[in-house]
Structure 1
């Protein structure tokens, strides 16, 4: 697929998601990094967003609960290039009813070439990177070219 470029701004839009048994770990991570995260636009699936708001002073754009469609809302924001990165404390050992949604979400993050952390260590590496505080140019799919080549309008 042809590629184009997009600039991720200094002020990033970040999705915060956690499986149920990792919500407390994500909330603690957010509390630890609250000052850093306060400079960015934060999105979260419903329950996680509510817990983060209760535990911090952060403003969260809350979507609906993950299993009820919040994962798809995050995916749509990624495809619309409205999210710049995703912090998703994912539990690969605990099967959930909405596992296909999780797989689709991880696939979209990879397709649209956004940074994704699926655990605390990776999240730490991302937010402590010099790139976290800068504009970053990334390559993304050139959807128009893709459609033209396949004769789809």
Structure 2
């Protein structure tokens, strides 16, 4: 463990049996732009069993929509433009996020494009897997 790192007992990851293999709980961030929120709920519903083995955090509306649409437990942060993206970024920088699923709408102007770029930079800097669409999100889940 690097110097200055403290172990938070709430963040300890407990192995779980899933068939013949052991699954370690990971923390996954969920973000979706407005026109992609339905896609995120559909993705989470299709992968509900696997997502239920992990800790989920999401920006305001996305987290609430996923929880409501799937019954999964999602820790909701602030709405993206109101600081939720920054909260996810802080989790990345603090080593408390293992993967990010961020369904970006490539066809819409992004009013908080700076926040999106900051998340992309942090995820790259701290080397966490990021998925921007369903195909990569499935690959990230499989890798976890």
Q: Normalising TM by the smaller chain, what interval?
A: 0.7 to 0.9
Which 4+ runs in 1 deviate beyond 6 A?
A: none
The higher radius of gyration belongs to: 1
Q: Which residue of 66, 83, 102 corresponds with 2:80?
A: 66
2:53 equivalent to 1:39? yes
Alignment deviations for residues 70-110 of structure 1 (CA, whole Å, 9 cap, x no partner): 00000000000000000000123311211100110111000
> By how many angstroms is 1:126 displaced?
1.6
- Counterpart CA distance in 1 for 2:121 and 2:106 is 15
Contact 2:93/2:126 (<8 A) preserved: yes
Instruction: State the match for 1:29 in structure 2.
Output: 43
Uncovered stretches (5+) of structure 1, i.e. residues with no partner: 1-8, 133-153
8 Å CA contact 2:99, 2:140 repeated in 1: no
Q: SS in structure 2 opposite 1:128?
A: helix
Q: 2 CA distance for matches of 1:56 and 1:99?
A: 29
Q: Distance in 2 between matches of 1:73 and 1:88?
A: 14
Q: Displacement of 1:45 after TM fit?
A: 0.1
Q: Give structure 2 stretches of 5+ with no counterpart.
A: 1-12, 14-23
Supply the distance in 1 between the matched residues of 2:73 and 2:135 (Cα, whole angstroms). 24
| TM-score where L is the length of structure 2 | 0.82
Give TM-score scaled by structure 1 length. 0.77
Distance 1:89 1:96 in 2: 13
| Total equivalences in the alignment | 122
Confirm or deny that 1:105 pairs with 2:106. no
Distance 2:36 2:125 in 1: 25
In structure 2, the residue matched to 1:116 is: 130
2:95 to 65, 81, 100: 81
Deviation at 1:29, TM superposition (A): 0.2
- How far does residue 127 in structure 1 lie from its aligned partner after superposition? 1.3
User: Does 1:96 find its partner at 2:75?
Assistant: no
